[in-house]
Amino acid sequence: MKKHNFSAGPCILPQEVLLKASESVMDFNGSGLSLIEISHRSKDFVEVMETTRSLALELLGLEGKGYTALFLHGGASMEFLMVAYNLLETKAGYLNTGTWSDKAIKEAKLFGEVIEVGSSKDENFKYIPKGYNVPSGLDYLHLTSNNTIFGTQVKKFPTTDSPLVCDMSSDIFSRQLDFSTFDLIYAGAQKNMGPAGTTLVVVKEEILGKVSRQIPSMMDYKAHISKDSMFNTPAVFPVYVSMLTMQWLKDMGGIPAIEEINKKKSRLLYSEIDLSPVFDGYANKADRSHMNATFNLTDDKLKETFDSMLKEAGINGLNGHRSVGGYRASMYNALSLESVGVLVDIMSEMERKG
């Protein structure tokens, strides 16, 4: 039986994407060769890379606006340091909204001064700080748009005169934003775009080349741009599957269409959390993530029953992260409204038992 996959990452991908991807592993486009045994310099793969890069810009509405899309190695974690390597000359601002921004801050401190413009550490990152002051003249301001672990999401981005950098790993392509207000966006593929192994970086070229330090080639965005994201052998399979997922998204109407579905899914789940006396939401209501919903049982004695009901219904990946506990339902783009419906049915059955 196919499971309802609420995994936080690596995460669910569309069935049709998995099918096409598995076919291409055996025979890529009828070439008699596997996608993963051909040269990345072959015409066929160069076309995959170029299509993937332009689809990313197209979906974000950033074509012809001075941005480049790259598919790099090392995960979002590598971008924590690459961003600083390429952009941090003296001081940068970071909004600390949880584990991932914390890790980004740690790396940036190796390169220059970091000003934490705001933090929600005082309440274990239950909320997104607001009304914080952003000093002017920063090398850049860094935010994490969606906090995968704590289940919070930035709804309104600050205005700043500095370049705006955003880790969008867990909500890329899930909601409409004016993406042109960002100067650099990065996202590990495995949350909402493809398998683990590649990272999307969308960068406005004019912000590069301003730091005085020497940058090793593999860390240098300019080196990757000049080689069309093929400075070294790219992660051919993750890039290809990301392309298929983006095509799937484009065919259904792009970000506006998926946002509607994502809203329905999260509304359904959060209304159950709010109405039910046996469940408590973790994140502050105003800052709740549409992608990762965090919640707890009000009575831990119900855990065994609830867990076995989840298992029986084929629900996978609902355990909360160890730093929050409880449950976390990740509702990425490829998760259907039906799957959320199955979860909500079980939660309301739990309410009757509880």
Ligand X SMILES: *Cc1c(COP(=O)(O)O)cnc(C)c1O
Measured from the CB atom, is 168 or 269 closer to ligand X? Answer: 168
Q: Please tell me the distance from the alpha carbon of residue 160 to that of residue 162, in angstroms, as a whole number.
A: 5
Question: Which CB sits closer to ligand X, 117 or 168?
Answer: 168
Give the nearer residue to ligand X in terms of CB position, either 24 or 152.
152
100 is catalytic: yes
In terms of Cβ atoms closer than 10 Å to its own Cβ (0-12, 13-18, 19+), residue 329 is buried
Catalytic residue among 139, 167, 171, 287: 167
Task: Provide, rounded to whole angstroms, the least separation between the CB of residue 308 and ligand X.
Answer: 29
User: What CA–CA distance (Å, rounded) separates 331 from 286?
Assistant: 18
Torsion over CA of 18, 22, 23 and 27, rounded to 10 degrees? 150
What DSSP state is assigned to residue 315? E
The residue of the chain with the least Cβ separation from ligand X equals: 75
The CB density around residue 292, as the number of other CB atoms within 10 Å, is 29
Please, which residues have CB within 8 angstroms of residue 40's CB and are 6 or more apart in sequence? Answer: 46, 49, 230, 233, 234, 236
* Active-site hit among 100, 139, 183, 220: 100
What six digits make up the tokens of 65?
A: 């606006």
Chain-centre distance for alpha carbon 305: 32
Residues forming the site for ligand X (CB under 6 A):
9, 75-77, 100, 144, 148, 167, 169-170, 188, 191
Catalytic residue among 126, 139, 183, 191: 191
Amino acid at 179: F
| Residue whose token pair is 């994490």 | 144
189: left (phi over 0), alpha (psi -120 to 50) or beta: alpha
Asked if 60 and 179 count as a contact pair (C-beta separation under 8 A), the reply is yes
- Least spacing, CB of residue 146 vs ligand X, in Å: 6
Q: Which residue matches tokens 């590649």? A: 198
Is the Cβ of residue 99 or residue 336 nearer to ligand X in the bound state?
A: 99
- Compute the least distance from the CB of residue 87 to ligand X, in Å: 17
Give residue for tokens 């079980």.
346
Closer to ligand X at the Cβ: 44 or 102? 102
Q: Which of 21, 30, 53 is nearest to 201 (CA)?
A: 53
Contact 148, 191 (CB under 8 A): yes
303 is catalytic: no
- The three-state (H, E, C) secondary structure of 53-72, written as one string: HHHHHHHHCCCCCCEEEEEE
Using CA atoms, how far apart are residues 64 and 164, in angstroms rounded to an integer?
Answer: 19
Least distance in angstroms from the C-beta of 201 to ligand X: 12
Distance in Å, CB of 174 to ligand X, minimum:
12
Cβ distance to ligand X smaller for residue 107 or 272: 107
> Which residue, 127 or 279, is less far from ligand X as judged by CB?
127
> Alpha-carbon torsion 263, 264, 269, 275, what sign?
positive
Q: Is 248 among the residues known to form the active site? A: no
Q: How far is the CB of 171 from ligand X (least distance, A)?
A: 8
Cβ at position 152, least distance to ligand X in Å: 11
Could you list the active site residues? 100, 167, 191
